[in-house]
Structure 1
Amino acid sequence: MKLGFIAAAGAVALIGLSAQAAPKAAVPQTVAKDAKVWAAAEAAKPEQLKLLGQIVNIDSGTRDVEGGRKVAAILAARLKALGYAVESVKAEADGLPDNTVATLKGAGKGRILLIGHIDTVFGPGTAAKRPFRMDAEKAYGPGVSDEKGGVVEGLYALQILHDLGFKDFKQIVFLIETSEEGGSPGTHGLIAKLVADADVELNLEPGDLPDVMTVWRKGAVGLHIEVKGRPAHAGIAPGEGRNAATELIHQMAADDVFPKTGDGITMNLTMLQAGTRDNIIPEDASATYSVRIREKSDLPKVMAVVEKNAQTTAVPDTKVRVYHQEPFFPPLPENPGTQALAARAEAIYAGLGKTITRGGNGGASESALAYEGGIPALDGLGPAAGGFHADTEYLVLGSVTPRLYLLTKLIQDLGHNPPPRLK
């Protein structure tokens, strides 16, 4: 993920501030430390890390159905033991594990939706090659932070609330989904349904370094360019062919007008395919780009450029097709609802004598879907981490207990005093 920090908002907003309201009185800087919750969070750490290691050591790439089932079964059993009604919900696309929805009714007002994902970007055998391990400062392994660390944190926050007998909420729903790394094709409809029955969404994606929560995210969409040429013998009659790979290179050069990095639109090549044998002029060639956008209106701008370029070919008699995937993640824009939630989090963290800041990045998430559905969303609530989508992925051990405390206290606060819906 590409970090794009936003400076922390000045003074911390009133706890319970609505998405639209402005503070009318002196702004409290802290919420007093809750000794019971802190002690519970500290006591949970050894078992929390043990469970994290157990599920990190199970491969669960986005389309690894069996791996996803194994991880979900472990987590579902824990949630059932806490009194949650647990349902396996069939994915909305083929070749994906079921999603897990755990629900608990309370006696208060707030309807809280937690979302985390257990799919990773790593293929079968990765966990065996580099299993879960820890040193003095960090934990490592495939998906340790993105996002199994956050999912385990969510489970232990619910464990603490259960042990404390906390019931001051109307409903807590924990969605553990299995296709986020592919754009959540298996859950868009499910998320919309859950958001309609919620007041707020808390997302368990990792926090950026050094200790950041996420208040904006780019949207993500896969853009595809396909070229159709004509095959021919590469040695005897290459002139009879129409080289799709050569034309694709021309298209890629023409499309290379968007930045590769930065806080605005970015467009990066992620997959490239052409040809079938070394003695045949390629008939087909294709490229896939990961396009990241800050505003929904950015996508038509990108498509307009790519579609215009596709009208001009360098290799005669080739045809170029461009399209983008559906569905895709919209952006989570900066908005008052998220900023008000961030202010609550800052005040809770300040009670620990710690500072958490606000930022954003190019990594998309389900929080954008929650925002689209009309509820405020706060993201990046998992442990602080880095090295995402790479062999260097890690989780900062020193953030495990403070982040667990923060999530637990946020759920308590939002259960008692839910924010208004955005629309």
Structure 2
Amino acid sequence: MNSRPWMMSLGAAAAIVAPPAIAATPDARILTAATQARPAQLALLEQVVNIDSGTGDAAGAARVMARLVPELKAIGATIETSPAEAPGLGDNVVARLTGTGKGRILIIGHIDTVFPAGTVAQRAFRMDEKRAYGPGVSDEKGGVVQAVTALKLLHALNETNYASITFLIETSEETGSPGTRKLIDKLVREADVELNVEPGDAPDAVTVWRKGSATIKLTVHGRAAHAGVAPQNGRNAAAELIHQIGTLDRFPKSGDGLTANLTTLRAGDRVNVIPDLATADINVRVRTADQFDGILGAFQASARRTSIPDTRVDVTTTPSFPPLPNNPATDRLAAQAKTIYADLGLTLGTAGNGGASESALAAAAGTPAIDGLGPVGGGFHSVDEFLELSSVTPRLYLFTKLLIQLGATPPGKADH
């Protein structure tokens, strides 16, 4: 007999109504409710994954919200639609529950993905015995659906010992949340704690540090000319750009520290014309904010030393998220989560990664924050993205009990 029914497939799990027999002592009410919720949770996940909602697809975002909002309204949440703060992005949703306790909890999740419209038609949601697959299944629709399900469990269990739970579902995280920055800044300052439902790190960890991210754009201006008749009259912007990109060789491409990687490259639009314009984007990830100054300075110095005369190089930056550094407030939340997970006879690890998120904004505002509370996944931003089905019910139990505990006893905010 399988003593851990959360590891079963959707069909098998539908019949489970009792908590597993394990040596640890889980909260039977929460575990039973989480186990029983599994079929509906996975069904909702399938529905939202099967809606294209890449960043900038406002119509797709609206369709996802139209599926999620009724679930939240049904448990008494008040819903506020918050227009995007930048053009071309989907509206955000803020759902609020009011209770009778002390803790003011903020949950943040995003429904935008990196995949273009039409992706679902090519590879819709599917499951095998171990994993679920599909665009955004882990990053981050699995976490958003988990949060919705946890709030439904609180309602079903009549758990209201919190002052407030605010759930921000945003639509532009994958590009640094340009559509929600002011809203996030307001919400994190109103909260006692921020919980982020980004996917858990493999093999089974919460995220206690994240790198900050930014983009350095190189734009080279040259001179167009006929590539056959008078190429000597041109000033090849593409060739100069290749020279400038060589600066990347001085910096790591992977690892736990600073990384810098070429992500986009554009030059020319006709095969018989010397290109007069070329651009490249360099994605930079840093553990500390001052690391970015060093790499930016290197590109700025290179721009002043062109290899092709009469070309000009502009260096501009677009910030995304600051780093989430290792810090005592996050460590305390992680320790609390580990204790809850031990209820299930499971060990919760702690980890960090180069994926930036909104938790860095919360921590910077002095609000304790912890990340990676969604189901465990991998293959993010690729055709191989997956969600570990064995993590679905344990992570739902963890998240639900963490909400209950933080509602009753919120952490203290840092002084800023």
Q: 1:335 aligns with which of 327, 330, 334?
A: 327
User: Aligned residue for 1:223?
Assistant: 216
Q: 1:298 Cα deviation (Å)?
A: 1.1
Corresponding position: 1:253 with 2:253:
no
Q: 1:288 aligns with which of 275, 281, 286?
A: 281
Aligned to 2:104: 111
Q: Structure 1 residue 156 and structure 2 residue 149: aligned?
A: yes
Q: 1:204-238, CA deviations, whole angstroms, 9 ceiling, x for partnerless residues?
A: 00001110100000001111000000000000010
Given the alignment, which residue of 197, 202, 205 partners 1:204? 197
1-structure distance, mates of 2:25, 2:180: 38
User: 2-side partners of 1:100 and 1:32: how far apart?
Assistant: 37
The match for 2:71 is 78
Aligned to 1:391: 383
| SS of equivalent to 1:325 | strand
Aligned to 1:266: 259
Q: Contact between 1:255 and 1:305, CA under 8 Å: does it hold in 2?
A: no
Letter in 1 for 2:397: Y
SS, match of residue 351 in structure 2: strand
Amino acid at match of 2:39: P
Query: Do structure 1's residue 233 and structure 2's residue 198 form an aligned pair?
Result: no
CA distance in 1, matches of 2:390, 2:357: 24
In structure 2, the residue matched to 1:314 is 307
Pick the aligned partner of 1:96 from 76, 89, 99.
89
User: Alignment partner of 2:326: what SS?
Assistant: coil
1:189 to 2:158 alignment: no
Please list every run of 5 or more consecutive structure 1 residues that lacks an aligned counterpart in the other structure: 1-29
2: CA distance, partners of 1:43 / 1:158:
14
Query: Which digits, 9 at most, give the CA deviation of each residue in 1:132-157, with x for residues without a partner?
Result: 00000000000000000000000000
Whole-Å separation in 2 of the counterparts to 1:182 and 1:31? 42
**Residue 17 of structure 1 corresponds to which residue in structure 2?**
none
- Amino acid in structure 2 at the alignment position of 1:43: Q
Q: Displacement, 1:254?
A: 2.6
Amino acid at match of 2:303: A
- 1:372 Cα deviation from its structure 2 partner: 1.1
One-letter identity of the residue aligned with 1:402: P
Identity among equivalent pairs (%) = 57
Tell me, in whole angstroms, the C-alpha distance in 2 between the residues paired with 1:31 and 1:361. Answer: 30
CA distance in 2: counterparts of 1:222 and 1:85, whole angstroms: 37
TM-score by length of 1: 0.92
Using structure 2 for the length normalisation, give the TM-score.
0.93
Paired amino acid for 1:226: T
Residue type matched to 2:98 in 1? K
Paired residues in the alignment total 393
SS of equivalent to 1:256: helix
1:297 aligned counterpart, secondary structure: helix
Decide whether the 8 Å contact of 2:24 with 2:345 is kept in 1.
no
Alpha-carbon distance between aligned partners in 1 of 2:24 and 2:297, rounded to the nearest angstrom: 49
Q: Structure 2: where are the runs of 5+ without partners?
A: 1-22
1:304-348 CA-to-partner distances (Å, cap 9, x unmatched) read 11111111000000000111114x200000000000000000000
For residue 394 of structure 1, what is the amino acid of its counterpart?
A: F
Distance in 1 (alpha carbons) for counterparts of 2:141 and 2:79:
19
Aligned-residue offset at 1:165: 0.7
Is the 2:367–2:413 Cα contact (8 Å) retained in structure 1? yes
Partner of 2:138: 145
Deviations 1:380-410 (A, max 9, x none): 0000111100000000000000000000000
By relative contact order (CA 8 Å, sep 6+), the higher-ranking structure is: 1
Q: For 2:398, give the aligned amino acid.
A: L
Deviation at 1:31, TM superposition (A): 9.2
d(CA) in 2 for partners of 1:370, 1:32: 33
Shift, 1:188, TM fit: 0.8
Residue pair 2:248, 2:261 contacting (<8 A) in 1 also: no
The amino acid of 1:357's aligned partner reads: G
Cα distance in 1 between the residues matched to 2:55 and 2:369: 24
Moved runs in structure 1, 4+ residues, more than 6 A? none
Matched residue type, 1:252? I
Q: Name the SS for the 1:196 alignment partner.
A: helix
Match of 1:136 among 123, 129, 133: 129
Distance 2:189 2:338 in 1: 27
Amino acid at match of 1:378: I
**Cα pair distance change 1:240/1:155, threshold 3 Å:** same
**Contact map agreement 1:137 1:396 (CA 8 A) in 2:** yes
CA–CA distance in structure 2, aligned partners of residues 84 and 187 of structure 1: 20
What amino acid does structure 1 have at the position aligned with 2:405? D
The structural deviation recorded for 1:255 is 3.3
Write the distance in 2 (CA, Å) between the matches of 1:98 and 1:32: 42
The residue aligned with 2:6 is none
Q: Aligned-pair distance for 1:379? A: 0.3
SS of match in other structure, 2:121: helix
Task: Name the amino acid aligned to 1:412.
Answer: I
Corresponding position of 1:214: 207
RMSD between superposed Cα atoms in Å: 1.0
